[in-house]
Amino acid sequence: MGQRVSLGFKVGTSDIQGARDYQEDSYAVCDPNGSNAAFEDIDSLSAAVADGVGGEAAGNIASQTVVTVFSKAIQSRPDNEPWPNVLHNSLVLANEAVRDASRQHPSLHGMASTLVAVLIDSNKLWWVSVGDSHLYLLRKGLMTKLNADHSIGAMLNREVEAGNITPEEATQNPRRNILLSCIMGETLNEVDLSQRSIILERDDRLVLATDGLNTLAMDTVVQISQQHTDAQNFAQALTDTVEAHQKAGQDNTQVVVVDLFEKQGHVAPSLPGGWRLYLALLLLIAILATWFFADQIPSISGLSAITQ
């Protein structure tokens, strides 16, 4: 007999400007169904993080445009549209919004943004990402990167894993921060779109972050997570630790943490076995009800009503 727990969400957010002149990271978290209810009380959640490029106001405008348009598109989706389609269409609209803003305001020409976004529906997770922002899953002390990284840095890291270059060569390459794909109103070179959902579990923890979090090793993030069970405290601890490193040229860092917890008194049937159990129970109740009410009907002409 399969069971699927109903999961709720606890959200934490934090950001730092680092050593940059401007804060160009943005985020948005909302109910895909448009309610203003507390995150702990809803059954679906959308979260998006974006890292803007463009300097001065342009980078901030790019990232704000992306997360705002993307989130509104999620909420205004057609009924019964598959979630991968919704994510793709919302990304397209965000890309078009950046294009339109660049055309209308010459000072914004060339602005761009990354995006990493998740859609959680009950206990199922989908995501879409462009650029080098991150989506991590923390589960039972292990940390897994879920999305692809569209940057030269990611290519260099794969070369290290293949033994073709040294870690020092990868980290010191001056081109490692160049993006291979980003949202700037043009054709998207690479998009990571999950076609199948991942089943989330109670006590899972998701981290969406811009590449400023790269200052911390994954083992460090896991250690900080184990020290902070509260989503907001964990998010704050991550950016505090990044800042404490005092890294030269530290990038903006935006973090969104989503913790999954089991809602009390909400256990839903899981396919394929759960619905069969419910049908069997309903059938049994119907049979018992028939017998009960039949016994209450007075006899007619000396014969039981149910025998006529």
CA distance 15 to 255: 6
Contacts of residue 149, Cβ cutoff 8 Å, sequence gap at least 6: 132, 134
Least confident of 173-177, 247-251, 292-296, 297-301: 297-301
Q: For residue 284, name the pLDDT band (cuts at 50, 70, 90).
A: low
Q: Of 234, 276, 226, which Cα lies nearest the Cα of 257?
A: 234
Structure tokens at 173: 């390459």
CA distance 144 to 174: 27
pLDDT at 264: 76
Backbone angles phi, psi at 139, to 5 degrees: -145, 120
- Evaluate if residue 110 carries a pLDDT over 60: yes
Do residues 126 and 84 lie in contact, with contact meaning Cβ atoms separated by under 8 Å? yes
- Span 91-110, average pLDDT: 96
How would you classify the pairing of strands 124-130 and 198-199? antiparallel
Question: Residue ranges of the alpha helices (H) in the chain?
Answer: 58-75, 83-104, 152-161, 167-172, 218-227, 231-244, 274-296
Instruction: Share the mean pLDDT of the chain.
Output: 88
pLDDT at 4: 55
Per the DSSP assignment, residues forming a β-bridge with 255 are 14, 209
| Interval 131-185: pLDDT, tens | 999 999 999 999 999 999 999 999 999 999 999 999 999 989 999 989 999 999 9
pLDDT at 294: 44
| Interval 5-25: pLDDT, tens | 689 999 999 999 999 999 999
Fold for domain 3-147+181-269? Answer: Phosphatase 2c; domain 1 (3.60.40)
- Evaluate if residue 232 carries a pLDDT over 50: yes
| Interval 172-217: pLDDT, tens | 999 998 999 999 999 999 999 999 999 999 999 999 999 999 999 9
Domain limits, the chain: 3-147+181-269, 274-307
- Evaluate if residue 38 carries a pLDDT over 80: yes
Q: For residue 57, name the pLDDT band (cuts at 50, 70, 90).
A: confident
Q: Provide the whole-model pTM.
A: 0.83
Report percent pLDDT > 90 for the chain: 80
DSSP structure string for 43-75: SEEEEEEEEEESSTTHHHHHHHHHHHHHHHHHH
CA distance 134 to 140: 19
Backbone angles phi, psi at 3, to 5 degrees: -130, 145
Which SS3 state, helix, strand or coil, does residue 152 take? helix
Angstrom CA distances, 280 to 2, 175, 273, stand at 15, 63, 11
pLDDT at 286: 52
- Evaluate if residue 115 carries a pLDDT over 90: yes
- Evaluate if residue 268 carries a pLDDT over 70: no
